[in-house]
Amino acid sequence: MLARCIYREEHDDTHVEIWEEGDRRSLWFDDVILQTEIYLHDAAVLPNPVNRFMLAHLMFGLPLRRVLLAGCGGGAIARWFHARAPEIRGEAVELSPVVARLAREYFDFPDPSTSGWSLRVEDVREYVVHSEFRYDFVLLDLEEAQSTPDWLTGNEFLDRCRRRLSPQGVLTLNLIVNETTDTGVALQQVREVFGPDILLLTEPDHDNLLVMVFRGMPPESPDDAQLARRGQRWGMDFRRMAARITRLSGDPPGDPGMG
């Protein structure tokens, strides 16, 4: 089936398009950045493998009551959570009013009047300062000029995010790896805030590096039975994800006093 463009707009020097192919609908920036992809008739399945890997923390079976999505895109993950676990509450924070509008109009972002989700148009740097909520899961999925902005891995912002986490909370950072990214520096900054023990995860067909950090100590690796059971619950191949996790532990480089 041929793909067709159903929406096109220029805003803030960014070219935005929405494409449809069969049951798939996708949001693209500048013709090269796939921002969001959904199945129109099955909200409980995420077609984009990076989106699925962003949720790898679910394999640990940690408490999950409230979620913060920093960077909404089309809202596929919020939509998925609402379909899979409607009892979960969450906030998606999106800087662009255009992207927020498209999430509502074209990508079925959960209606706040019938769900526990809200979509806020504001700067997440300000949101984490004044929010009254504690989150069990925070996802940082933001880009500027096709790179991870420096402030996203800065100590000040990460510390504010850490303060918003519940005692067993987890934060996942989608780190865009390219020629402008100093991955070592970014990981060192993350470890300075969250401690030396972090988990790294890569999706085989994408260059992004997913960084998982925890308010407390990282949980033990689930056994095969737990991976299978939780994978069935969430519709994820957690065994495949678990095999791709790298654990870093010990003192972060350049900070021998942290333990």
Domain assignment present for 259: no
Domain assignment present for 218: yes
Instruction: Kindly state the tokens that stand for 224.
Output: 């095969």
Domain assignment present for 223: yes
Strands 66-70 and 89-94: parallel
Q: Give the CA angle between residues 21, 234, 60 to the nearest 5°.
A: 135
* CA nearest neighbour of 170 among 116, 118, 219: 219
Count: domains in the chain: 1
What is the rounded CA–CA span in Å between residue 141 and residue 70? 6
Domain assignment present for 19: no
What is the model's pLDDT at position 94?
Answer: 96
Domain assignment present for 20: no
What is the rounded CA–CA span in Å between residue 96 and residue 9? 13
Domain assignment present for 16: no
What is the rounded CA–CA span in Å between residue 171 and residue 212? 6
Per-residue pLDDT at 16 exceeds 60: yes
Note the pLDDT tens digit of each residue in 137-164. Answer: 999 999 887 789 999 999 999 999 999 9
Note the pLDDT tens digit of each residue in 79-88. Answer: 999 999 999 9
**DSSP run (H or E) holding 160:** helix 155-164
**Confidence band of 257 (pLDDT split at 50, 70, 90):** very low
pTM of the predicted model, to two decimals?
Answer: 0.93
Range of the domain at 229: 48-248
Burial class (CB in 10 A: 0-12, 13-18, 19+), 205: exposed
**Confidence band of 180 (pLDDT split at 50, 70, 90):** low
Instruction: Kindly state the tokens that stand for 67.
Output: 């979620």
Domain assignment present for 10: no
What is the rounded CA–CA span in Å between residue 110 and residue 91? 11
235: domain CATH number is 3.40.50.150
Domain assignment present for 40: no
Per-residue pLDDT at 256 exceeds 50: no
Mean pLDDT of 226-250: 97
